[in-house]
Chains A and B, each alone.
Chain A
Amino acid sequence: MSALTSAVRTPEEAAKVFRTLDFIALGAFFMILLASHHVHVMLLMGDWDFWVDWKDRRFWVTVVPIVSVAYPAAAQAFFWEKFRLPFGATLVTLGVLAGEWANRYFNFVGFTYFPINFVWPTILLPMALFLDAMLAISKSYGLTAVVGGLMYGLLMYPANWPLLSAFHVPAEYNGVVMSLADIMGYQYVRTGTPEYIRMVEKGTLKTFGKDVVPVSAFFSGFVAMVMYFVWHFVGRWFSKDYHINQL
């Protein structure tokens, strides 16, 4: 029709419509990205995230930041580049945490009766906030990849330690030294993941024992830099507006 007629009648209405659509879009983005991110996270790092006796010093520390930095990087490529909104990483992280908590509480606890302090999810928010702040302050994806990516790996264990430490108190259990986390894994029976499935640090003859966490975290940060770099481009690619004429 006439290109001259406007769809809204007043500037006030224009502002109101824009604002209303912002809220609807935010809701849509939150739910849609929540689901997508949750599938990614649960099937690439889920087992370490489900159980407190999987939250070890070597595998959990390495895998979780590497896997969970992907969506924040993709979301930042969209929200910051296109709209200068500095909450891409936080938005998707809040989403996945909401999905995880809903599931742990209503299913792991409410359906199959595992205690919540056995199945709480990994704390990811401090890293997401750091990533967003890094990008907003530096305005550089390169710096965010290097500094933010490294910090994403380094921060994971410290951010979770206040919650996790209580489960690492040692106990003598039937004559064996076990952590409380180990005892919980032993007590609350899981049929699907018997003990030999559990991928946790066991020590080797070619490694030192005591500084496993910082070394793993540093390695994780290094890989997270690369992941950030790659997934930033993934986010950009998914932001393209291709059209085809024929299916």
Chain B
Amino acid sequence: MAATSRAVAQGVAEKETADLFAWRGMWLAVAAFFAFYICVRWYEGVYGWKYGLDAFSPEFQTYWMNLLYIELVVEALATAALVSYLIKTRDRNMEAMTPREELRRYCTLYMWWVVYGVGLFWGASFFTEQDGAWHQTVVRDTDFTPSHIIEFYMSYPIYVMVGLGSFTYAKTRIPYFAKGWSVPYLMLVFGPFMIFPNVGLNEWGHTFWFMEELFVAPLHWGFVFFAWFILAVFGVFLQVQPRMKELIGRELQQSEDYARS
């Protein structure tokens, strides 16, 4: 009750009933990622051994190359759809935004980062080092091994899609990011994105420099260089802090005033 009268006293009259935190969306996305990749891992575990050992067999075409073609098309379409949806539904009148709405969008942005992190975990961590295990198991006869089809051409484009989505969300909905371009955010999204084109260097190197899969071979260091740019999450986080403090912090300050009076 006391809380309500205080709020009224400050002239917070807007009737906004929507929750600040879109928990459902975040947990659904995280759960979808885990469910999807656990299925992928199962598929790989079964059909990697069954049909993935000889790239010249017809089964390999059916079970693996078709997967490659399908996933590339689906990813390209999904990325285009996600980004164009976010642009199309952009906020065209940011001036009219209430502080609470702005705060809600920051909360959603934080949740985008969680989902991006989950995507990066599966792509850059889980399936990347997994490739190390597969390299120790087969002497490969193609650039498109089952492990590569999942790692390079599935898990990387998917996290790139989430990164681009989070960036577009910020750009089209949050006033701070709408103006100009945040360099750390560009690095956070396009550093990991560049890991994907860098596959070109990697596979090109492997085409004439056949080497055993030494993970620390210099040919692989391009991936490392681009992964460093993920550290720009520091800059992005610091960029949003002053505004977060303005949006939320004032109330804490008033709390102290209350205590003093």
How far, in whole Å, are A44 and B227 apart by their CA atoms in the complex? 12
Looking across the interface, which residue of chain B has its beta carbon closest to that of A106? B41
Check if A243 sits within 8 Å of B126, measured CB to CB.
no
Check if A241 sits within 8 Å of B239, measured CB to CB.
yes
**A201 at the A/B interface (Cβ < 8 Å)?**
no
Check if B125 sits within 8 Å of A240, measured CB to CB.
no
Complex interface residues of chain B between 203 and 261 (CB less than 8 A to chain A): 212-216, 220-221, 223-224, 227-235, 237-239, 244, 247-252, 254-255, 258
Check if B213 sits within 8 Å of A5, measured CB to CB.
no
The segment from A96-104, A138-146, A165-173, A210-218 that touches chain B is A96-104
Check if B228 sits within 8 Å of A11, measured CB to CB.
no
Looking across the interface, which residue of chain B has its beta carbon closest to that of A74? B231
**B114 at the A/B interface (Cβ < 8 Å)?**
yes
What's the minimum C-beta distance from A104 to chain B, rounded to whole angstroms? 8
Q: A12-B3, A17-B103, A243-B183 are in contact. Are A30 and B227 (CB under 8 A)?
A: no
Mask: chain A, 59-79; 1 = CB below 8 Å from B; 0 = not: 000000000000000100010
Interface residues of chain A: helix, strand, loop or mixed (majority): helix
Looking across the interface, which residue of chain A has its beta carbon closest to that of B191? A36
Check if A78 sits within 8 Å of B234, measured CB to CB.
yes
How far, in whole Å, are A11 and B260 apart by their CA atoms in the complex? 14
How far, in whole Å, are A99 and B187 apart by their CA atoms in the complex? 23
Mask: chain B, 34-66; 1 = CB below 8 Å from A; 0 = not: 000000010011001000000000000000000
Mask: chain A, 1-41; 1 = CB below 8 Å from B; 0 = not: 10011111111111101101100110111111111101110
How far, in whole Å, are A239 and B236 apart by their CA atoms in the complex? 8
Complex interface residues of chain A between 177 and 211 (CB less than 8 A to chain B): 190-194, 197
What's the minimum C-beta distance from A111 to chain B, rounded to whole angstroms? 6
What's the minimum C-beta distance from A199 to chain B, rounded to whole angstroms? 9
Check if A192 sits within 8 Å of B135, measured CB to CB.
yes
Check if A24 sits within 8 Å of B251, measured CB to CB.
no
What's the minimum C-beta distance from A115 to chain B, rounded to whole angstroms? 13
Check if A5 sits within 8 Å of B12, measured CB to CB.
yes
Which A residues are CB-close (under 8 A) to B96? 1
Check if B126 sits within 8 Å of A102, measured CB to CB.
yes
What's the minimum C-beta distance from B168 to chain A, rounded to whole angstroms? 14
What's the minimum C-beta distance from B137 to chain A, rounded to whole angstroms? 5
**A108 at the A/B interface (Cβ < 8 Å)?**
yes
Check if A36 sits within 8 Å of B44, measured CB to CB.
no
Check if B233 sits within 8 Å of A32, measured CB to CB.
yes
How far, in whole Å, are A212 and B33 apart by their CA atoms in the complex? 46
What's the minimum C-beta distance from A120 to chain B, rounded to whole angstroms? 14
How far, in whole Å, are A8 and B253 apart by their CA atoms in the complex? 12
Check if B121 sits within 8 Å of A28, measured CB to CB.
no
How far, in whole Å, are A6 and B125 apart by their CA atoms in the complex? 41
Q: A8-B100, A18-B248, A243-B181 are in contact. Are A44 and B129 (CB under 8 A)?
A: no
How far, in whole Å, are A233 and B102 apart by their CA atoms in the complex? 33
Complex interface residues of chain A between 77 and 103 (CB less than 8 A to chain B): 78, 82, 99-100, 102-103
**B87 at the A/B interface (Cβ < 8 Å)?**
no
Interface of A toward B, CB cutoff 8 Å: 1, 4-15, 17-18, 20-21, 24-25, 27-36, 38-40, 42-47, 50, 74, 78, 82, 99-100, 102-103, 106-108, 110-112, 114, 190-194, 197, 234-235, 238-247
Interface of B toward A, CB cutoff 8 Å: 3, 6-7, 10-12, 14, 20-21, 26, 41, 44-45, 48, 95-100, 102-103, 106-107, 110-111, 113-114, 116-118, 120-121, 123-126, 128-130, 132-139, 180-184, 187, 195, 212-216, 220-221, 223-224, 227-235, 237-239, 244, 247-252, 254-255, 258
Can you offer 23 A-B residue contacts whose CB atoms are under 8 A?
A: A7-B100, A7-B247, A8-B248, A10-B6, A13-B251, A20-B107, A27-B117, A47-B215, A50-B132, A74-B231, A99-B126, A102-B126, A103-B126, A103-B129, A107-B129, A108-B133, A111-B133, A111-B134, A191-B138, A192-B135, A235-B234, A239-B235, A243-B183
